[in-house]
Amino acid sequence: MKKIIWISIGLIVLIGCGKHEDNTYVPGKIITNVKYTGVSVKSGMKSGNLKATNTDSKYTGFGDFIMSITPNKVTAKFYNIRYVSDLTAQSSIELINNNLPPYDSLRYADFTNNSSISMKPSLGGDLRDEGASFANIVEFEYLTFDICNVYHAIQLPQEYIGIDVLDQFNYPDNSSNDETKLYSTLSNNILNARYQLFLNPLYGYSPQVIPTAIVFGGTDSSYVINLATDFHDFPYNTPYHGNYIIRSKNYNPITFIPSESSNKTTLINATLSFDYNNLIQIYAGNDNIPFTRDDIFLYEPNFFDRLTVNVTIE
């Protein structure tokens, strides 16, 4: 029997696959696969104002709105991704964790080229079949993930030709390949930049204030919270490396029902789709003159609602 679960999200879920060395499925295992897809437009950019009725779709304080643009390429890297059953994380399915080598290819997602991965998830809780499956029915109320980076390659509008430096992306470490540092380059009118740089004008310039984790589930609204000052209820023993996280309502709990047979393999397939069409908004900056080096590039206000996961269980 196939059960289809739709999960809508504003960042990301990964799942993996367990096999024997001879490439056969292991009886009694939870087998999972994931595919990444991106949603964009062929032109890569769209001029003009957003719908006038959608006043919440623009920022104020950054100069006049110029246009929205779509990245040509979007990839990502993850620290941790997991399903957890409750606030104490009594049961969990870890898809990515710290045991994976830092530069392992399984950590990376390519939304532009529709990449796919397979890996063996780590299970926690009351297990059976030598730790390969859960012994009882488990509802996973939360989905959490910790982001290392999201990478963008953006073909800028032709009006930026001749501008060699954009002030927003001009950092001492801006050309470093060290993944712990900010990174951006501008060459041939193509901007390569990591997601933090599009959020710095909104949240500040310390790494601790950029939202780096998303917790889905257990709430009926989506918002950004400061862990140091705001009330919050979410799985407290999951890894976060910043002060700010995103809480999202866009998740439907997943229920795992164990099979009566230990030879039954439960197959979980997930397709993670990221709508990055018109993800970046451009504003005229301090001089309020469009297409100058002080223009401001920002994620659109509801960026964290752009992720959708389709999960099938059979």
Residue 189 makes CB contacts below 8 A (sequence gap 6+) with: 155, 156, 158, 160, 161
Each of the 314 residues of the chain gets a pLDDT tens digit; together they read 444 444 333 333 433 333 334 343 344 577 777 888 898 654 334 333 333 223 358 999 999 999 999 999 999 998 888 888 887 778 888 888 778 898 899 889 999 999 988 877 888 899 887 788 888 898 988 888 788 889 999 999 999 999 999 999 987 666 666 676 778 889 999 999 999 999 999 988 877 788 888 888 888 888 888 877 877 776 666 656 677 888 888 788 888 888 777 677 777 777 778 899 999 999 999 999 999 999 999 999 988 888 777 777 77
Instruction: Render 141-201 in DSSP notation, one character per residue.
Output: -EEEEEEEEEEEEEE--GGGTT----GGG--TTTT---TTS--EEEETTEEEEETHHHHHH
Per DSSP bridges, beta strands 142-155 and 184-187 are: unpaired
Size (the chain), residues: 314
CA 184 to chain centre: 19
Listed residue (137, 7, 152) closest to 72, CA to CA: 152
User: What residue type is 151 in one-letter code?
Assistant: Y
Q: What is the DSSP letter of 202?
A: H
Q: Provide the residue ranges of all domains of the chain, joining segments of one domain with +.
A: 3-51+58-313
Q: Under a CB-based contact definition with an 8 Å cutoff, are residues 130 and 124 in contact?
A: no
CB atoms within 10 A of CB 125: 16
Return all residues near 200 (Cβ < 8 A) that are at least 6 apart. 168, 210
The number of helix segments (H) and strand segments (E) in the chain equals: 1, 23
Angle at 302 between CA 75 and CA 145, to 5 degrees: 50
pLDDT of residue 234: 66
DSSP 209: G
pLDDT score, position 21: 41
The whole-number pLDDT of residue 56 equals: 55
Taking the C-alpha atoms of residue 108 and residue 278, their distance in angstroms, rounded to an integer, is 23
Amino acid sitting at position 184:
S
